[in-house]
Chain A
Amino acid sequence: MCTVVPISLTVGANRIVPTVAIPHPLGNPALTKEEEKDIRRKLLNKALNALSTEVSEQTVFE
């Protein structure tokens, strides 16, 4: 899980889940706590799905 996808691609990560921003990858201080929790849950679910998906090359899970 990371914000700067190009760097993840450069260093050779297999499964990449794009996140919010560099200082707050799994949240957003402009939102309410409830909204932030929702973002976090969705990103985590996406990451778990990515982990259980077979990949044959570097894959970005948009």
Chain B
Amino acid sequence: MKLELGNIIIHDIQFGNVSKVEKGIIYINKDELGALLSEDENIKSVSFEIARPGERIRILPVKDVIEPRIKVSGRGGIFPGMMAKVDTVGTGRTNVLKGAAVVTAGKIVGFQEGIIDMSGPGAEYTPFSKLNNLVVICEPVPGLAQHAHEKAVRLAGLKAAAYLGNLGKDIDADEVEIFETPSLKEGILKYPELPRVAYVQMLQTQGLLHDTYVYGVDMKQSLTTILYPTELMDGAVVSGNCVSACDKNTTYHHLNNPVVRDLYAKHGKELNFTGVIITNENVYLADKERSSDWSAKLAELLGVDGVIISQEGFGNPDTDLIMNCKKIEAKGIKTVIITDEYAGRDGASQSLADADASADAVVTGGNANMLIKLPPMEKVIGHIEAADVIAGGFDGSLKSDGSIEVELQVITGATNELGFNRLSAR
């Protein structure tokens, strides 16, 4: 399966009379986009703000971050089963508005939502401070149930991203990247000497606002399965979760998974990247056992020598992580796990809730319990009072001068377990 990504480099977003992309600037007709998003009867009102790198802006609570993309050729459309009809994606040509994102905010959906600061010390902890962001502020109709609220905001974000992505359909790309995965047979014949490596991506599926969707399927209801890596780049996997902001994978992360990118960079040179095994993180012990059994079984079936495993979230998914690691190692396949740590504010406590001797190669995204101080900003997009109630915040987090003292876990993407940030440890 082969996919071309045409990156259209975006320097700015502005509101305008006609929605278009011109000379690296996205112009948005807010009335048109607002009317589109307001079609959802569960959304009472929608408004838009633009947040650019370096501006003294704080966005909270942040639900999802989404990169605008559009299928130019090849089967299917972006976010299949969610926005586009169900069809296998990952081939042909996809254009990307690189440097831009849609950020969804508004009344808090679940307590585990995040903060993005566009400047100051907080901006250093989130990759999304480097993007030109269209913030979509969705307010739900009164009395809307939490799960319906989550769905409404999730779909509004995806719709807005698809709307922006569509503006890039006929624009010449500034750069083109090509990603190709051969069939198992072709790969073995082509690279007989190279070690075979697969990627096991664990998806957050604990339910109760902690869900991930694959081609529109709620992943907690699926068994562990296999994707071509390029399917991820076309939005086969979409975030529907409000798990802790620092280590949840936003839809932006799924589209730009750095494990996939780095494995492709070495593909055909140092290793043969065979594919992605996606598995879930359910709340029943039998599900955890079954799904990790399947991860190990599929890794064995692919005939790989090594596997990289990434986790999403923390706490009981630590058990899924260790089960995946232990069971894959037991097949004689080497593993490296990517996680983050909840080691207490002083970093002295045990980092994971579970452990095993076979987990002897570990990459960390940082300690989410670390306390940080965020100075006041000139402008807050969203609801500042959420600072006291989101995970990582506490009663008194929000100071009278508008500054915030919180644990690092409130910052969207701060300790990302795909390695999509700069924190780690040696």
Contacts and interface: CB of A to CB of B under 8 A. Distances in A.
Interface of A: 3-7, 10, 18, 20-23
A10 B323 CA distance: 12
Contacts of A4: 285, 288, 316, 319, 354
B355 interface: yes
B283 A7 contact: no
Given A21-B283, A21-B284, A7 B206 contact: no
Given A22-B206, A23-B206, A23-B207, A7 B285 contact: no
Given A10-B354, A10-B355, A22-B316, A3 B285 contact: yes
Main secondary structure, interface of A, reads mixed
B283 to A, nearest CB: 4
B299 interface: no
Given A18-B285, A23-B283, A6 B323 contact: yes
Interface string B189-231: 0000000000000000011100000000000000000000000
Contacts of B318: 7
A42 B354 CA distance: 28
Given A6-B354, A7-B318, 11 more contacts: A3-B284, A4-B288, A5-B285, A6-B322, A6-B323, A7-B319, A10-B353, A10-B354, A22-B206, A22-B316, A23-B283
Interface in B133-180: none
13 contacts: A4-B285, A4-B316, A5-B285, A7-B316, A7-B353, A10-B353, A10-B354, A18-B285, A21-B283, A22-B206, A22-B283, A22-B284, A23-B283
Interface in B295-344: 316, 318-319, 322-323
Contacts, number: 34
Interface residues of B, number: 15
A22 B319 CA distance: 12
A35 to B, nearest CB: 17
A23 B207 CA distance: 9
Residue of A5, A6, A23 ringed by the most chain B CB atoms within 10 A:
A6
A23 B284 CA distance: 9
B312 to A, nearest CB: 15
Interface in B353-407: 353-355
Contacts of B353: 7, 10
Contacts of B323: 6
B337 to A, nearest CB: 15
Contact of A3 (B207, B283, B355): B283
A60 B212 CA distance: 32
A20 B354 CA distance: 19
Contacts of A7: 316, 318-319, 353-354
B208 A6 contact: no
Contacts of A20: 284
A41 B239 CA distance: 38
Contact of B319 (A6, A18, A21, A23): A6
A4 B284 CA distance: 8
A62 to B, nearest CB: 11
**What 8 A-B pairs have minimum CB-CB distances, sorted nearest first?**
A22-B283, A21-B283, A21-B284, A4-B319, A7-B354, A6-B319, A10-B354, A4-B316
